[in-house]
């Protein structure tokens, strides 16, 4: 997807330059072509050689250094870029660009480009809140520039507050989303609800029944749907995974809590993708205090939880409903039975006993069965790629909405 996409990374002076180095590495690993431009202040923190090694390309530092007499360097790379990102962006460079000052390699290049520009500010909390900086950022927004808000936390100056440059992973997600969104306009504005992870059904204050689901598949689906421009809500059971970029996360613990969260949002949803491994049973009786160990065996009576997917199927009023079937045997037969029994449009089936496609791993292999009788195969791949392929396969079903 990213091959031949060209990213011009403009690095200005601040302690967050080290994050820009990490971002450069991540962009290259994702298949982007990267060129780096540095201000003199940025070079006080990290040398150009670092970025040259990471980008595998020449680093531009001086407007008046013209290595190729047939080209004007800052115009050439301004035209070359598919996307420009300024990270970190200081108050100084934001002020210069907002007021048309072009006095170094970064500002002359940015002002010469017609590519989209993303800006990741990084500065002291009081500088970020200064009226002049706020005014300059508003001015740049009117130029069409996109700002990536800084994080809150401990700053190098010793203050706590908003001003830390967004993490390289978040900046990479912004770049990915920029290109994916442009190529998937059908998803723009669609309300997508994804479920992920396990549920936990309590026995007493220290014990519960659960399963091996990590949530990785559902989180990947939510991230890739958001990248396409959808409004995504992720209803997730307990998980240690980081929140996907651009996704509204609703955390739940039990099957009943997940049922309530999903059903309450269903009427306003275009697509539901139920990737969660919801408990089919829960203890009929729970205990306020910890059960003490005793001689002999114990029995825990279990009762059925409400079938969320079946409920959604019975209440469907035009939503696209996608289920998951994690099976250990008779995969096709069991998956197709669920399509009919739960009024699904698509079901994604996988074998939990097959190497690479079970719970907790980073890969998956899926077979998609459609209510209209069609089938599609997603061979073993990363869960992020499997999520992307799943969304591509169900995209035609969205065209009638």
CATH code where residue 116 lies:
3.40.50.1950
- In this predicted structure, what is the pLDDT of residue 154? 63
Look at residue 122 in the predicted model and tell me its pLDDT: 94
* Domain limit, last residue, from 177, 197, 231: 177
Return the pLDDT at 395: 92
Query: Is 268 found in the same domain as 150?
Result: no
| Sign of the C-alpha dihedral computed for residues 362, 195, 244 and 397 taken in this order | positive
* pTM score of the predicted model: 0.81
pLDDT at residue 1, rounded to an integer: 55
Structural domain contains residue 367: yes
Give Dmax (Cα) for the chain: 88
Cα separation, 389 vs 385, in Å, equals 6
Q: 290 a known binding residue? A: yes
Examine residue 295 and state whether it is found in any structural domain, yes or no: no
Q: How far is CA 191 from CA 81, 226, 271, 276, 289, in A?
A: 32, 10, 7, 18, 42
Which residues form the domain of 334? 186-287+301-398
Sign of CA dihedral 115, 120, 124, 129: positive
pLDDT score for 291: 86
Distance CA 180, CA 224 (A): 9
Does residue 290 have a cis peptide bond before it, meaning omega lies within 30 degrees of 0? no
Q: Has 324 been labeled as part of a binding site?
A: yes
Domain end residue (candidates: 147, 177, 207): 177
What's the confidence (pLDDT) of residue 161? Answer: 66
List per-residue pLDDT tens for the chain, 401 residues long.
556 799 999 999 989 999 999 999 999 999 999 999 999 999 999 999 999 999 999 999 998 887 777 788 899 999 999 999 999 999 999 999 999 999 999 999 999 999 999 999 999 888 999 999 999 999 999 999 999 988 776 666 666 667 789 999 999 989 999 998 888 889 998 999 999 999 999 999 999 999 888 999 999 999 999 999 999 999 999 999 998 888 999 999 999 999 999 999 999 999 999 999 999 999 999 999 998 888 888 888 999 999 999 999 999 999 999 999 887 788 888 889 999 999 999 999 988 777 777 777 889 999 999 999 999 999 999 999 999 999 999 999 987 65
What is the C-alpha to C-alpha distance for residues 20 and 181, in angstroms, rounded to an integer?
24
231 and 369 share one domain: yes
Say whether both 172 and 192 belong to one domain: no
Residues 172 and 219 in one domain: no
38 touches 60 (CB < 8 A): yes
From the list 116, 238, 243, the residue with the least C-alpha distance to 173 is 243
Active-site option among 157, 340, 341, 355: 157
Structure tokens at 150: 């800084």
Burial of 295 (0-12, 13-18, 19+ CB in 10 A): exposed
Q: Can 10 be counted among the known catalytic residues?
A: no
Same domain, yes or no: 159 and 232: no
Strand partners, 349: 325, 367
342 is in an annotated binding site: yes
> Residue 141, annotated ligand binder?
no
Where residue 266 sits, what CATH number does that domain have? 3.40.50.10300
Annotated binding residue at 190?
Answer: no
Q: Tell me what pLDDT residue 368 has.
A: 95
Query: 202 with 336, same domain?
Result: yes
Same domain, 129 and 247: no
Q: Do residue 134 and residue 11 come from a single domain? A: yes
Instruction: Convert 81-100 to b/e letters by CB count within 10 Å (16 or more is b).
Output: bbbbbbbbbbbbbbbbbbee
Cβ contact 85:109 at 8 Å:
no
């Amino acid at each position: 997807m990213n091959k031949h996409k060209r990213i011009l990374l403009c690095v200005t002076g601040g302690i967050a330059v080290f994050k820009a180095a990490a971002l450069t590495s991540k962009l290259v690993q994702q298949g982007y072509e990267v060129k780096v431009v540095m201000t003199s202040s940025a070079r006080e923190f990290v040398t150009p050689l670092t970025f040259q090694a990471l980008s595998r390309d020449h680093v531009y530092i001086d407007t008046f250094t013209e290595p190729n007499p047939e080209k004007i360097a800052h115009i050439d790379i301004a035209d070359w870029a598919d996307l420009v990102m300024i990270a970190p962006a200081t108050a100084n460079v934001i002020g210069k660009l907002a007021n048309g000052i072009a006095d170094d390699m970064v500002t002359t290049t940015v002002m010469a480009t017609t590519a989209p520009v993303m800006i990741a500010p990084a500065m002291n909390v009081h500088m970020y809140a200064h009226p002049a900086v706020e005014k300059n950022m508003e001015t740049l927004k009117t130029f069409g520039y996109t700002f990536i808000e800084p994080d809150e936390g401990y700053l190098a100056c010793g203050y706590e507050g908003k001003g830390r440059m967004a993490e390289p992973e978040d900046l990479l997600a912004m770049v990915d989303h920029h290109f994916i969104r442009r190529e998937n306009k059908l998803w723009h504005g669609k309300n997508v609800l994804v479920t992920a992870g396990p549920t936990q059904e309590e026995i007493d204050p220290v014990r519960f029944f659960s399963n091996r689901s990590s949530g990785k598949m559902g989180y990947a689906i939510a991230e890739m749907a958001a990248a396409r421009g959808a409004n995504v809500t992720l209803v997730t059971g307990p998980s240690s995974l980081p929140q996907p970029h651009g996704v509204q996360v609703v955390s739940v613990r039990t099957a009943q809590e997940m049922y309530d969260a999903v059903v309450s949002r269903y009427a306003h949803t275009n697509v539901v993708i139920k990737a969660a491994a919801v408990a089919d049973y829960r203890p009929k009786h729970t205990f306020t205090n910890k059960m003490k160990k005793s001689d002999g065996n114990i029995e825990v009576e279990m009762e059925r939880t409400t079938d969320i997917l079946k409920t959604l199927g019975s209440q469907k009023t035009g939503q696209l409903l996608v289920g998951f079937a994690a099976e250990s045997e008779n995969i096709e037969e069991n998956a197709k039975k669920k399509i009919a029994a739960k009024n699904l449009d698509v079901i994604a089936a996988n074998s939990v006993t097959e190497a690479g496609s079970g719970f907790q791993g980073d890969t998956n292999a899926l077979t998609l069965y459609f209510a209209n009788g069609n089938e599609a195969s997603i061979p073993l791949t990363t869960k992020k790629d499997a999520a992307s392929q799943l969304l591509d396969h169900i995209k035609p079903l969205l065209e009638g909405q």
